[in-house]
Amino acid sequence: MGRKGLAAVQIINDTKLTNKMLDSLCKYIKAVEYKEGDAIMRIGKPTEAALYALRSGTVHLKGTTQDLVMDKVGMFGDDMLDLDAKTGKNGPNDSTKVNAPYSVVVTSPNVVVGVLLLKDCRKVFDTIYMGKGLPSKDDSIRYTQAKITDFTKHTILGAGTFGQVWLVSREDSMGEQRVYALKIQSKYELVKNHQAKGVVHEKNIMAELHHPFVACLIASFKDETFVYMLMDMVQGGELESIMHSETGDELSNDQAKFYTAGIVEGLSYMHRLGYVYRDLKPQNVLISNEGYPVIADFGFAKYVTQKTFTFCGTPLYLAPEIILNRGHNWGADHWSLGVLVYEMLTGFTPFYEEHMDQMELFRAIVQDKVHYPSSMTPEARSYITGLLQKNPRRRLGSGSHGLEELFWHPWLKDIDFAKLRHKEYKAPYVPVIGDPLDASNFEDWSSMEDKSDQKYPKLKASEAAVFDKF
């Protein structure tokens, strides 16, 4: 069953999954063979909630209101997929078994069925919303004729080589002011620095992502000079400001576990859709108004099927295989996570020493062992050690249990990830936010000029065409 077949299933269609989510679900569909007389399920008996699609042969489905023979175009089990939506529970330890609503018995030799388990659906999206529709991005923007001129700029939140991020507001249909973060980038600067295709790629990736711990793209705009990405406003500042504050440069074990769990949730969501992030660091993890981590800045993110060889990222957090140009995939993000967790618990990264130049740092990353302080718990040390394996094949998250290794490890065993995902934990730090326009948790950029007031040379037609798909 492919993307179109899945999308045709009513409960899947009603969930409003993105194409990348549908593609990811397709990878979890497994072909199962049955012999004539086998019972796939018995009415009233416990069975795994799953969607079944006949690929060959026939089966007899009989329930209290149904009695029919299905052939290779038949499908059943979809009425069991709403288990999590009914119970409101979809954590790693929550059961995916239901009492079968009917009996299904194989009536021909060599029947093959494509099976998509509910437990695998949990790996791709929040199954609490199965059949209900995922929480929508800001429909007041996405489905109206909003224009970039509708937004009022207030404060610069960040700046880079190609543009700035502004806190902006817009009056909604009820007359209330809603705030957003607006990333404004110069087309000319992007073309000049060979980053034009990259920003189009970044925008298209963000449009596919839909997770509470991943920055949300609401809309995009463009004009002759600039491209714009409108995102949810995350007002708590950067994780770095919590890690390195006036009170110290390290977090407690429980604080580090909380932020790690949220990052693992968001990062694993991206990985299941096939994206490698490639720039995990404290500056790229924002803190939401409720105190939860939100992964942001997808300039280096890429869709990968096996390996990619691009050298990119931030030196302190680079995996050995990137430095050695041996090809990398999602395991490179797990290495960066290990560096970040170590930094949260100690206040410094594991390989850098004072006055090191970049080549010395790279040598240390590739060759040196990690030294752990005695104050670190054995469970935390084990988690970091698993992530900082030089050989990516031996790294935590790359073993026989895949991404689940990141969730099941003893260091995070007391985290209820379903509860975390629905923000039912009290965060260790909740940012102080005075009002919707409060940007005090970010660096002060008030002395910087508005780059959108600058004049840039006109692009050639061939250069401007790169932005057609933005």
Rounded to the nearest 10 degrees, how much is the dihedral formed by the CA atoms of 337, 342, 345, 347? -110
Task: Report the number of distinct structural domains present in the chain.
Answer: 3
Residues 249 and 359 in one domain: yes
Token reading at 85: 């939506």
List of residues 6+ apart from 177 with CB closer than 8 A: 169, 170, 171, 436
Residues 280 and 415 in one domain: yes
Residue of 331, 284, 337 lying closest to 304 (CA atoms): 331
The answer as to whether 430 is a domain residue is: no
Q: Which residue is it, tokens 């449009």? A: 207
The answer as to whether 14 is a domain residue is: yes
Question: What CATH number does residue 298 fall under?
Answer: 1.10.510.10
- The angle subtended at Cα 431 by Cα 426 and Cα 436, nearest 5°, is 115
Residues 243 and 362 in one domain: yes
CA 255/CA 258 separation, integer angstroms: 5
| Domain edge (last residue) among 104, 129, 154 | 129
The answer as to whether 470 is a domain residue is: no
Q: pTM for the whole thing?
A: 0.84
The answer as to whether 228 is a domain residue is: yes
Question: What CATH number does residue 107 fall under?
Answer: 2.60.120.10
Residues 150 and 172 in one domain: yes
CB 286 within 8 A of CB 418: no
Residue 146: per-residue pLDDT = 75
| Domain edge (last residue) among 103, 129, 155 | 129
The answer as to whether 140 is a domain residue is: no
The answer as to whether 166 is a domain residue is: yes
Residue 1: per-residue pLDDT = 75
Catalytic residue, candidates 279, 357, 444, 453: 279
- Using one digit for the tens of pLDDT, what is the confidence trace for 405-461? 999 999 999 999 989 988 999 999 999 999 989 999 998 898 898 988 889 999 999
Question: What CATH number does residue 219 fall under?
Answer: 3.30.200.20
Residues 293 and 407 in one domain: yes
Residue 279 falls in the annotated catalytic set = yes
DSSP conformation letters of 85-111 = HHH----TTS--EEE-SEEEEE-SSSE
Residues 337 and 452 in one domain: no
Q: Which residue is it, tokens 């790279």? A: 362
Residue 136: per-residue pLDDT = 63
Residues 386 and 249 in one domain: yes
CA 262/CA 360 separation, integer angstroms: 32
Residues 28 and 52 in one domain: yes
The answer as to whether 281 is a domain residue is: yes
Q: Where are the beta strands (DSSP E) in 307-377?
A: none
- The angle subtended at Cα 244 by Cα 241 and Cα 245, nearest 5°, is 75
Counting as low any pLDDT under 70, the low residues of the chain are: 136-145, 173
- Using one digit for the tens of pLDDT, what is the confidence trace for 35-69? 999 999 999 999 999 999 999 999 999 998 889 99
Residues 274 and 403 in one domain: yes
Residues 38 and 174 in one domain: no
Q: In what order do the strands lie in the sheet with 226-232?
A: 152-159, 163-171, 177-186, 226-232, 217-222
Residues 386 and 318 in one domain: yes
Rounded to the nearest 10 degrees, how much is the dihedral formed by the CA atoms of 78, 84, 90, 95? -80
| Domain edge (last residue) among 79, 98, 129 | 129
Residues 152 and 215 in one domain: yes
27 is in an annotated binding site: no
Show the domain range for 394: 239-421
The answer as to whether 134 is a domain residue is: no
Gyration radius from the chain CA atoms: 25
